[in-house]
Structure 1
Amino acid sequence: MGTPIYIEDTSYRRNCFQFNICMVIDGNQHHEPYRDIAQLLAMSFQTLEVETKLLSNPREGTSIQAILAQLRQQLNDAEECFVCTDSCHAISFKVRRWTPALTRIEDETAVPVPLVDLQKLLDPERRSESQGPDLQQALPFSLDPALAAVLPLIDGVRSVQTIANDSPLRSDYVVMILRHLIHFDLIHLIPSITLDSRYRLTPAYHAVLEDVEKGQEAVQYVTAGQLDGKDLAEEDRCKVIQRVMALYAFVACEGKQLEQFKQEEAEEIAALDISLRHFVTWGLLQGYLERVEDNVGSLNKEQADELFRLRTEHIPNRKKQLKEQGLSGKEVNQDDKVQEMVQRMQMLRNVEA
């Protein structure tokens, strides 16, 4: 890794001088932290070349090879350097290396779901023609060939392992690319969706019942774009949102498997043109749903029913009643009855988990 330098000056034979001081780095290391070192070395040698002609016409007794060897040793040993090039000049700086706080991918069966149109990111013309600012600013780094090879494989269906297998790149490179995409909020990992999966609601489920705009997004997503809530009359729009959100309560009812939910609600799913995969994916992305592992949980049926009612009826109804009385969100959450039910719900969840 190095930073090429070009110095234009009539004192040189060709009116310019070019050089590049390079470091050799382990291929398994993340290269980003070393870019600052390469730039500092380039700036230091550029200054010395302009002032003393260190590289193009070194003084007698000055060994460029010896200077580079000292720099290499000091940077490796102490991550700082102080190397004199003559009685008046020295190369001196301290390295403060950093590594991006990338999310680790623990489960290779997890599925990366795009949060933006990744195909548009592959096409600079389509990205620049986009109406909104999201796609124009979504990619905060250059689109290199490795990234371009992985993006088409991220379709919300393939798992991390499948993408790594289908990609021409090494598996560890693919995982590193996915970690960067997660870091920049371009994709999100969700558990793999299978018909034997079980799900439960989270407290975030109740918030969408009061957010019409989020409800419209939910309708558009779960129908894979077949139905846009904005195109409906207000009364019909509210009814469709309520029907969709009611299905989330049913899929998390009494720990039923997704296949059972699909069979029981087949008529409603067909009537709303819902894609089951999009339906579950949206719930996981928004935090309405969380997957329940088969080997986890010790609630009996009575406790499971109580937990379900607390999540879907008692707590949201109490909050709605208090808000209708003019209380603020903070005051609602501080209500004694609400806090008591939330504590009971949390206790049951701890037992369940």
Structure 2
Amino acid sequence: MLTQESNLAGKEGIIRCIFLSEFHATAGSKITCQSPQNFISKHAFDLINAYILPKRELERQVLTVNTLGIKIVGYPVKIDHEKYARNAFYFNICFVCDHYCRSVQYEPIVKKLCEFLIMMEMQYSFLSNDEYRPRIQKMLNKIISDLNESKVCTITEEETSIHLKILKITDDPPEVFDHQVPVLKREFENMSLSECDLTTQQVLPFINGLHHVGKISMLADVENALVKSCIQNLVYYNFVELLPLFKYSNVYMCTRNLQKLARNQDFAQECLSYVALKNDQPIPTIYNVFQIYSQMTHGVNLKTLCIRLSPRQNNINERKLVDYGLKHSLIRCINKYPIFTGSIPNARQKMYNGMNHFDEICCATGLSTIKLEELIDADTNVTILMK
């Protein structure tokens, strides 16, 4: 039976506590303020204070401590000045969450908040003057409440304000393969090359929705691994999305998301404008677009559909129709996976393992799809799986 911890492991959790710690000249390390009160006991703090106010080598670095069933994210600071006892003031502002939850989204907030408090301390002795303690407590209460409730918080002290926001940390982008086709998202189609690194400047002109990654590497004269890394970076920042290689021999299948075309008028209008073949002609009708999508199924390739339904006579660009359908999951591509059933495979047949589909094999071997199909049709030791 799954526990709450296993269900939430690695996911974002709420902030359980925020506390301010400082090093007192006579009392040593202690918690000055925390919200909620007494969440971190004195006994628990005594066990971990060496990591809250650590040695100088770890100052002004985001540190995460996972112990005692909690995870603590802090940014230890030392301010050197002769006005302090021992000529220095040590403090740390820490966020506490459950030990099984992801905490990376709090790291920039903790650092920003500490930098703000450094400035407030240097100008107003905001941390070291006991008169400000009620205001600090009120500030911590507001931060934990606002961030947990709305993920944003604005703090104003004296004449200074600070805006805190929990940003969504996206997952790592998927691995990029040679056979995939990168497509620039519409809002970034006119991206300025001057704002990009050198590799991206070489690669970007060849991202046209037609060339697969392997071909882009060849055309740009850039090492394949660098091109993949570049495109993966563009995918991460949501500039680019990856689509299957467009071929008239491809088989597509509509999904349940197709009903969105009938139910969402704005979405349908966007689709019709996108798939139009010529802008100086009336835009396609939803009936014609829906008709093509709905007839995409096993055993029917795109070429057959185009012959049967003549999309261009209805001002429909079949390439854009497929692109739009894949981008919005209205359709999915059905791939062919060859499986070698003989005894001793040659170099090419070793790729027929049921894991590599036609596009992958073509990119790896340099064969065209037609040539590969001819070789497989003539090979009695190969079975095709479509999925």
TM class, shorter-length: 0.3 to 0.5
TM-score (norm 2): 0.42
Q: Which has the higher helix share?
A: 1
TM-score (norm 1): 0.45
